[in-house]
Structure 1
Amino acid sequence: MAGRLFIPPLDAARLLPDLRLDAPLVTATNLAPRRPLSIIRLDAGTACLTRAFWGLTPPWLTVLDHAPHCARAESLQARPMFRDAFAARRCLVPAGGVYVWKPQPRFKQPFLVTRTDRRPLLLAGVWCRYHTTLTDHTDSMALITVPTSPLLAPLSDRLPAVIDAADAPRWLDPQTSAEAARALLIPAPRELLGAFPVSRRVNNPANQEPSCAHPTGPMLRWTPEQER
């Protein structure tokens, strides 16, 4: 599951061609749910970078603590909480990595899951909007998770789905059918993602030092020798 995100400074204009910047990119070493983050969504046919609350809050939700920050890909079309958003309001979250915690005999060791080439990730999500007045509104979102690859399964059984930049226009387009969008929600290729241990200071979301995201051990990654 995606409990925290690492969002370093990214060249947002290079994430997608012709991306419109409606708000500066939110950066954080250790971003926890129920905080604002940056999302990419379509606005009048143009991909734009804007902000949303991390925790899906449809208009009928009365308890903010019940706002889910993740949605399982397998249940998107079955659960009313996510069905409409998945059909028409899909988004992407640019991030540098996702924190997960591996159980140990006496504690949980945090790892940072990143691309092996350390390029930005585009994480799949859904968003919704509710109007607080006739002119004011609030946007919120949830990440979509899929099962992990066998390599990363010992660290976490689920991770946010990664959308390739080439598939981003199809993912964001509300004209793309739910079935076609669902086909993009698959575990990342085994060679794409790796993970390395980081300081246990990341356990506290108040800790935002850059050192929280620094490796404290070698990266776990797939190699061809693992198939032999």
Structure 2
Amino acid sequence: MCGRFAFHSPASLLVDRFAATIHGDAPAPRYNAAPMQTLPVVRFNPETKERRLSPLRWGLVPVWSKDPSGAAKMINARAEGVTERPAYRSAFKKRRCLVPFDAYYEWRKVDGAKIPHAIATDSNGPDAFAGLWEGWKDPASGEWLHTFTIITTEANDATRAIHDRMPVILPPDHWSA
């Protein structure tokens, strides 16, 4: 499970690393990115054939939702269910994204206390979580809300002692998928 992460790489490095253009304001560093915050996400625009770094809210709201109230429960999508679950199925086929990060946080329970751990790769980041995004139109105002979720999987050997799940971290040669 991924409930907090950090990205502190400068916007210029994000643009270079992801071969993306910035859509909106340049993202400010976040050392404690949290659910329901607006955060930078890399999406592919099929019309212009370019990657865009866009601000989206963390917590997926499916297009068919009546309201965005369930978004806080949809910050993560289990990889094992993204092709079958109605909330993720369409986004998995058509709206995949990259979520830039420099580290993520997990908490390990020890004697009733939660011990935080910052976990990073050795790539000198930023790196990318696999994500899904969705657009939801508010029926009352007609305004669009763009949201995302992070795909999670079973923990690898390096993190299993801390938590049983972890975000899917994509190597650069998989970003185009």
Q: 1:92 to 1:26 in 2, by over 3 A?
A: farther
- How far, CA to CA, are the matches of 1:35 and 1:49 in structure 2? 16
Alignment root-mean-square deviation, CA: 1.8
Partner in structure 1 of residue 157 of structure 2: 150
Among candidates 100, 112, 121, match of residue 115 of structure 1: 121
Partner in structure 2 of residue 50 of structure 1: 54
Kindly state the Cα deviation for residue 147 of structure 1 after the two structures are TM-superposed: 1.0
Amino acid at match of 1:86: F
TM-score (norm 1): 0.69
8 Å Cα contact 2:101-2:125 kept in structure 1: no
**Count of aligned residue pairs for this structure pair:** 169
Among candidates 145, 155, 160, match of residue 138 of structure 1: 145
Where 1:74 maps in the other structure, the secondary structure is helix
Kindly state the Cα deviation for residue 121 of structure 1 after the two structures are TM-superposed: 1.4
Kindly state the Cα deviation for residue 122 of structure 1 after the two structures are TM-superposed: 0.6
Amino acid at match of 2:5: L
Higher strand share: 2
TM-score (norm 2): 0.88
Where 2:169 maps in the other structure, the secondary structure is coil
Where 1:66 maps in the other structure, the secondary structure is helix
Q: How does 1:1-228 map to 2 (within 5 A)?
A: 1-10=1-10, 11-17=13-19, 19-23=20-24, 24-43=26-45, 44=47, 45-62=49-66, 64-67=68-71, 68-132=74-138, 136-169=143-176, 171=177
Where 2:64 maps in the other structure, the secondary structure is coil
Amino acid at match of 2:21: R
- How far, CA to CA, are the matches of 1:135 and 1:106 in structure 2? 46
User: How much identity, in percent, do the aligned residues show?
Assistant: 25
8 Å Cα contact 1:20-1:48 kept in structure 2: yes
- How far, CA to CA, are the matches of 1:26 and 1:86 in structure 2? 28
Kindly state the Cα deviation for residue 65 of structure 1 after the two structures are TM-superposed: 3.9
Amino acid at match of 1:165: P
8 Å Cα contact 2:6-2:31 kept in structure 1: yes
Unaligned runs of 5+ in 2: none
Amino acid at match of 2:52: C
Higher mean alpha-carbon deviation, 23-32 vs 98-107, is at: 23-32
8 Å Cα contact 2:9-2:126 kept in structure 1: no
Higher relative contact order (CA 8 A, sep 6+): 2
Unaligned runs of 5+ in 1: 172-228
Which structure is larger by alpha-carbon Rg, 1 or 2?
1
